Amino acid sequence: MPLALLALAVGAFGIGTTEFVVMGLLPEIAGDYGVSIPTAGLLVTGYALGVVVGAPLLTVLGNKVSRKRMLMLLMGLFVAGNILSAIAPSFGLMVTGRVIASLAHGSFFGIGSVVAADLVAPDKKAGAIATMFTGLTVANIVGVPLGTFIGQAVGWRITFAIVAALGVIGLLGIARLVPAMPRPEGTHLRRELKAFRNPQVLLAMAMTVLGFGGVFAAITYIAPMMTEVAGYSDGAVTWLLVLFGTGMFLGNLLGGRYADRALMPLLYAALGGLVIVLGLFTVVADHKVLAAIAIFLVGALGFATVPPLQKRVLDQAHGAPTLASAVNIGAFNLGNALAAWLGGLVIAAGLGYTAPNWVGAVLAAAALGLALWSAALERRAPATADATGQDKDAGSEAAARIPVHH
């Protein structure tokens, strides 16, 4: 794998840290601002919605800019948002800082996925994307637990100041290591938008929303769930996040390895396993050991879906991958926002801190259903083309799906 992927992974590490560290610090932030836990959960929802909006918006605005320069500008925006989060005197400004930082998230991973895929041979694309996302998963093993520990020990504001410094390091790494990659000739917004006419692209994004939403339904409220239900101490949340991050890391590696070989079977297995684990999590959440195992498995199964889902969007949006790739990152975070909101609703309704696990199981089951439907449509497509005398068009589309290096 090219060294340039290291720079992308460093940027992903900073983004991953700020995205997930807030979940371990919800009680501290809520107490500091005098708001409830479900209200503090808006920091997760707001960040996720910012990604949903920022992914297509900034990708379109950067359509005339080289990909390397755009990645650097996005990291600058990320740094500014985290500085505001660190110094915010009110909860409203804290949410604003989170949203500003989140605007860079979707475009960074979307453009970064395209850059990573362009740096390697066609049969290595999913592995290259997984390498970039390794920064995100390592953040959950190192950055998030360490940030949670620092936030609990000396204040959560220090954590966000450190995250801003990570963003500066990521910016310098991109400037130094990523090669100059000008915008490819023929890349136009109208062409990029045509990718969304493909039902398979939309189905893949819907799978992303629901599947990853299943993960966030449970993990957003991991701190109160583990302290109030399982009986762990506040300090134990740190190593529980290490378990979650380790699961994410391993799931991402396996997803990247097997997505190039058996993409859809991998999705069936990961989503089906996620449904089962989330369903059982509600039952075993009051058992310390079993709850810890469930947290690990949620991370592993959830992130095993990331490389195959991102690759499927890139494959189906053939010839116009940049906007579709960024929007799919927004889809991951739309799932996060939906799940965090639904999880807050069931908690506020008095159903307890374990209720979000059932929400997650339902969302993951819906994603599995869409995956099966997508595969069925794909199998029927050649027969439909033959029956309507459109063999030529089918052949043209098959040719268009051949990955192209820019």
* Per-residue model confidence as pLDDT tens digits over 140-192: 788 888 888 899 888 899 999 999 998 898 888 888 888 776 665 545 666 66
Nearest of 118, 109, 125 to residue 170 by alpha carbon: 109
- pLDDT surpassing 90 at residue 400: no
pLDDT at 402: 32
Joined together, the tokens standing for residue 100 give: 């500003």
Cα separation, 252 vs 134, in Å, equals 7
Amino acid 213 reads G
pLDDT at 197: 73
The overall pTM is greater than 0.95: no
SS3 call for 353: coil
Q: What is the DSSP letter of 188?
A: -
Q: What is the mean pLDDT of residues 334-346?
A: 84
pLDDT at 406: 36
Beta strands in 283-358 (DSSP E): none
Q: What is the mean pLDDT of residues 369-397?
A: 61
Cα separation, 3 vs 15, in Å, equals 19
pLDDT at 396: 39
- pLDDT surpassing 90 at residue 22: no
Residue with tokens 């694309």: 125
**Cβ-count burial of 60 within 10 angstroms (0-12 exposed, 13-18 middle, 19+ buried)?**
middle
Longest dimension (CA), the chain: 69
pLDDT at 81: 93
Beta carbons of 252 and 307 less than 8 angstroms apart: yes
pLDDT at 368: 92
Q: Give tens-digit pLDDT for 31-70.
A: 889 888 878 888 887 887 888 788 777 877 777 778 888 8
For domain 4-400, the CATH superfamily is MFS general substrate transporter like domains (1.20.1250.20)
Q: Give, in order, the Cα–Cα distances in Å from 288 to each of 52, 153, 226, 273.
A: 35, 23, 8, 21
The domain spans of the chain are: 4-400
- pLDDT surpassing 60 at residue 111: yes
pLDDT at 365: 93
